[in-house]
Amino acid sequence: MRFNLVCIGLIMFCSTYALISFARQRSSTSGATKSIVIPFTLTPHKSIVVRALLNKRDTIRLMFSTASDGVYLIKDVTGKLKSLRFNSVQDTISSWGKSVNLSRSSENNTLQIGDKVWKNLPITEDINSSFETDGKFGMALFAGKVVEIDFDRLLIIVSTKLPFKVKQYKRLKLSNLQGLSLVEATCKTIRSSTRRLFLLHSGYDGGLLLADSCEQEPCLQDELPSLGEQNLENAYGEKIRSRQSVMPTFILGDYVLNNIQIGFIEGLLNNRRINVAGSEIIIRFNIIIDAKRRNIFVRPSHFMNL
């Protein structure tokens, strides 16, 4: 299996203009309280993929990345699109393992996913996305909304209020770190048990990535056997070395997962070490994220015993 770090460019617009552009997005659909229901395909690489229409002209396949903001299209595709025009270059795009990347950007685009239309969208060009996709979109499209990812029914449901069924889910607190939402989980080995913050990242098709500096005890790299190395790539094609092993026990809320693939990496995002729980973890749960990104609610999906 190819473990491709497809969007660990945990990419965030740092420019004020980009942030303002997202804040001013307008929907063409009516009914402020009507839920948006978006069917998706779950690929063999565990990516959440939807069909979209760009500028009423180009049909594209986008991956939904829970760890990204904005809309990104890969360089191999952008030259083939009839409706996309780049008009600037940004040098403030952050990605995993590197602080700055040069990227072309396009302003004032229209994107339609299902019945939902976004206008005045900026689009950024990068290099990598999930297998057989043209790019990705992130949580910024659903700012101020409740986002539900139902892996049993293969639906993304966006609404203004938490659904009544949330009472059947386990609530976990989200911590905010420079715009990223992290959830606490426990890593347990024979020798130690430690709680750490993890970014839930549906753009990474593996299990866990641990940015373990070993500056503080316990050092999990010393506790777990090495099973070799792999080279991963971020969204801008930068290679990141990962030392592979297996985490005996990973606990999220009350749910215990055993023998999870883990990679130890040295990459930084905005000068911080960020641990990642990838799609191998995420698809085991149906997920609801509240509108203010303060809580995530989880309940086992039919992939729980993957």
What was the pLDDT predicted at 29?
Answer: 37
pTM of the model: 0.84
What was the pLDDT predicted at 281?
Answer: 97
What was the pLDDT predicted at 161?
Answer: 96
CB 96 within 8 A of CB 24: no
The 10s digit of each residue's pLDDT in 250-260 is 999 999 999 99
The 10s digit of each residue's pLDDT in 184-206 is 999 999 999 999 999 999 988 99
φ/ψ bin of 293: left (φ > 0), alpha (ψ from -120 to 50), beta (otherwise)? left
SS3 state at 201 = coil
Range list for CATH 2.40.70.10 in the chain? 16-159, 169-300
Tell me which residues of the chain have a pLDDT lower than 50: 1-32, 270
What was the pLDDT predicted at 100?
Answer: 54
**Which tokens belong to 21?**
């552009």
266, containing H or E segment: none
For 169-300, give the CATH class. mainly beta
| Euclidean distance between CA atoms 63 and 52, whole angstroms | 10
| Euclidean distance between CA atoms 231 and 251, whole angstroms | 27
Q: What angle do CA 130, 134, 140 make, to 5 degrees?
A: 80
What are the beta bridge partners of residue 89?
A: 104
CB 17 within 8 A of CB 242: no
Superfamily the domain 16-159 falls into:
Acid Proteases (2.40.70.10)
